[in-house]
A and B are shown apart, each in its own frame.
Chain A
Amino acid sequence: MFKTVLVANRGEIARRVLRACRALGVRGVAVYSEADADWPHVMDADEAVLIGPAPARESYLNVERILEAARATRAEAIHPGYGFLSENWQFARACEEAGLAFIGPPWTVIRQMGEKVAARRLMASAGVPVVPGSDGPVKDLDEAQAAARALGYPVMLKASGGGGGIGMARAADAAQLTQSFPAAQRRAQAAFGVADLYLERFLEEARHIEVQVFGDRDGAVVHLHERECSIQRRHQKLVEETPAPGLAPDLKLRLTEAAVRGARAVGYVNAGTMEFLVDRGGGFYFLEMNTRLQVEHPVTEEVTALDLVQAQLRIAAGESLPWRQGEILPRGAAIECRIYAEDPGRNFLPSPGTITALALPRGEGIRVECGVAAGLTVSVHYDPLLAKLIAFGRDRAEALDRMGRALAEFAVEGVRTTLPFLRAVVGSDQFTRGNVHTQLVEQGAFNA
């Protein structure tokens, strides 16, 4: 095992990784920007290094400064968390070239899966169903129109250069496609440095279900079951749970088999997630692979009683997978709610500001992953995730009941948060029945 690991992230995920380091007797190094000197992830670390000014490009995305910090603290490995540099293959390669272990898959796999059109082709050739779409990137609007006519409207425009909902636009007809195309190109260029777009058929009222996978360097790949993540705004998740309510056993079996097959096909190592859309007829289609730890990994940890982050460190240090497939036995149910500094009353607009008071819930089956503290200022420079609330129960009803009470106890003052929205979701008939799909939020299903 490593003696020292540097965590190239901030907020709750940096704290989560530092906790795993402590559990394994590993020295944990934090990095921070000038805006974050007083933040909890800095306090949690055995050592912390200032890497630059507040803007992410000058700090948490600054590869040179992060590698320098690793050298200065004699770190042997870097955990990228999620977001920032976690799916940047150049960073993973730079780590390797600097003699550091990147805690994630090989950079070649990150590159392969990051190029979304190539990833679709690769999965299709491995026998994993993909959403019907354009064969490759479309050159211009004319090609996009032709592809859309062939697929049938509505269609989804997507960036070839990367995922995460960035640069995505739905078009119901040719006029909307004409209108959305230039903006989607501009966003793709800004986010990924490549303006290329491709099209997929838009699946109405589909569910987003993903499968957690893990691989090691000996070629072993296992899955850690599924997560249901359909409650989203702007194609980004707000509530996740496992098991996926009402998922038929044979469909679950085919999903997990496809996920493992896909991961094997790319020689996957470490933690990854295969994302799928499941349509109303029970068809499922590969969306993308996230080649990193997911925000929502705690729900999987709760039902499997396994520590995914510790396993990531072990595998990066050259150990074999700590579990065989037959040993991964989920029990009970777990739900996660994401508390963002956003105003649900204003279409989830960001709500930066200073947190004047913070009260975290406690109790049986309740887990809180919190990156902030009272008195700190939530800046415009970073993702607005403040905390994750996870409720575990012997069954879904118990998890829901615990989540409802914990959400009522959770209090944040000084910034607007998604808490009122989350309370409405968890209290709704639709969610309680487990009758969910990715368009519920935009359809106003949880509006007061």
Chain B
Amino acid sequence: MPEEVKASITGVVFEVLAKPGDRVGAGDPILVLESMKMEIPVEAPRAGIVREVKAKEGETVQEGDTVALLE
């Protein structure tokens, strides 16, 4: 069962740092959100392989939205 990586805050996707197939460690940034002039990384909750990145650069995501899947 892949794990859902959720946005910690509402913001605009500033930069996507990981792509499907990438191996990430716990705490590695998957993407960076921009909200109110601040950059906030969304980090992998555990080590794993990125299966899907659901958010695109420039897109607005709400707090709690799933932005990536990790397996």
Q: Residues on A close to B: CB < 8 A?
A: 55, 187, 190, 234, 341-342, 349-353, 380-384
Q: How many A-B residue pairs have CB under 8 A?
A: 39
Q: How far is the CB of B32 from chain A (nearest CB, A)?
A: 9
The answer on a CB contact under 8 Å between B35 and A380 is yes
Any A CB within 8 A of the CB of B66:
no
Q: How far is the CB of B52 from chain A (nearest CB, A)?
A: 24
Interface stretch (choices B9-17, B18-26, B42-50): B9-17
Question: For residue A342, which residues in chain B have a CB less than 8 angstroms away from its CB?
Answer: 36
The answer on a CB contact under 8 Å between B39 and A383 is no
Alpha-carbon distance between A55 and B12 when the two chains are bound, in angstroms:
10
Question: For residue B11, which residues in chain A have a CB less than 8 angstroms away from its CB?
Answer: 350, 352, 380
The answer on a CB contact under 8 Å between B9 and A350 is yes
Question: For residue B60, which residues in chain A have a CB less than 8 angstroms away from its CB?
Answer: 380
Question: For residue B8, which residues in chain A have a CB less than 8 angstroms away from its CB?
Answer: 349
Alpha-carbon distance between A381 and B37 when the two chains are bound, in angstroms:
7
Q: List 24 A-B residue pairs with CB atoms under 8 Å apart, sorted by A's residue number.
A: A187-B39, A234-B38, A341-B36, A342-B36, A349-B8, A349-B38, A350-B9, A350-B10, A350-B36, A352-B9, A352-B35, A352-B36, A380-B10, A380-B11, A380-B12, A380-B35, A380-B36, A380-B60, A381-B12, A382-B36, A383-B36, A383-B37, A384-B36, A384-B37
- Residue among A187, A234, A342, A352 having the largest count of chain B Cβ atoms under 10 Å: A352
Question: For residue A352, which residues in chain B have a CB less than 8 angstroms away from its CB?
Answer: 9-11, 35-36
Instruction: Write the chain A residue with the least CB distance to B58.
Output: A55
Question: For residue A341, which residues in chain B have a CB less than 8 angstroms away from its CB?
Answer: 36
Instruction: Write the chain A residue with the least CB distance to B12.
Output: A380
Any A CB within 8 A of the CB of B53:
no
Any A CB within 8 A of the CB of B40:
yes
Question: For residue A383, which residues in chain B have a CB less than 8 angstroms away from its CB?
Answer: 36-37
Q: How far is the CB of A351 from chain B (nearest CB, A)?
A: 8
Instruction: Write the chain A residue with the least CB distance to B33.
Output: A380
Q: How far is the CB of B62 from chain A (nearest CB, A)?
A: 10
Instruction: Write the chain A residue with the least CB distance to B10.
Output: A352
- Residue among B11, B14, B36 having the largest count of chain A Cβ atoms under 10 Å: B36
State whether A350 and B35 are in contact (beta carbons under 8 Å apart), knowing that A380-B11, A380-B60 are contacts in the complex: yes
Alpha-carbon distance between A380 and B37 when the two chains are bound, in angstroms:
8
Instruction: Write the chain B residue with the least CB distance to A166.
Output: B37
Q: Which 8 A-B pairs have the closest CB atoms?
A: A350-B36, A384-B36, A350-B35, A380-B35, A380-B11, A352-B10, A383-B37, A349-B9
The answer on a CB contact under 8 Å between B12 and A350 is no
The answer on a CB contact under 8 Å between A382 and B37 is yes
Alpha-carbon distance between A55 and B13 when the two chains are bound, in angstroms:
13
Q: How far is the CB of A168 from chain B (nearest CB, A)?
A: 13
Question: For residue B40, which residues in chain A have a CB less than 8 angstroms away from its CB?
Answer: 349-350
Question: For residue B9, which residues in chain A have a CB less than 8 angstroms away from its CB?
Answer: 349-352
Instruction: Write the chain B residue with the least CB distance to A186.
Output: B15
Alpha-carbon distance between A341 and B8 when the two chains are bound, in angstroms:
16
Alpha-carbon distance between A384 and B14 when the two chains are bound, in angstroms:
17
Alpha-carbon distance between A349 and B42 when the two chains are bound, in angstroms:
13
Q: How far is the CB of A377 from chain B (nearest CB, A)?
A: 11
Question: For residue A380, which residues in chain B have a CB less than 8 angstroms away from its CB?
Answer: 10-12, 34-36, 60
Q: How far is the CB of A143 from chain B (nearest CB, A)?
A: 25
Question: For residue B12, which residues in chain A have a CB less than 8 angstroms away from its CB?
Answer: 55, 380-381
Q: How far is the CB of A235 from chain B (nearest CB, A)?
A: 12
State whether A350 and B39 are in contact (beta carbons under 8 Å apart), knowing that A380-B10, A380-B12, A380-B60 are contacts in the complex: no
Question: For residue A55, which residues in chain B have a CB less than 8 angstroms away from its CB?
Answer: 12
Alpha-carbon distance between A190 and B9 when the two chains are bound, in angstroms:
21
Question: For residue B34, which residues in chain A have a CB less than 8 angstroms away from its CB?
Answer: 380
Alpha-carbon distance between A380 and B11 when the two chains are bound, in angstroms:
6
Instruction: Write the chain A residue with the least CB distance to B11.
Output: A380
Q: Other CB < 8 Å A-B pairs besides A380-B34, A381-B12, A381-B36, 19 of them?
A: A190-B14, A234-B38, A341-B36, A349-B38, A349-B40, A350-B9, A350-B10, A350-B11, A350-B36, A350-B38, A352-B11, A352-B35, A352-B36, A380-B11, A380-B12, A380-B60, A383-B36, A383-B37, A384-B37
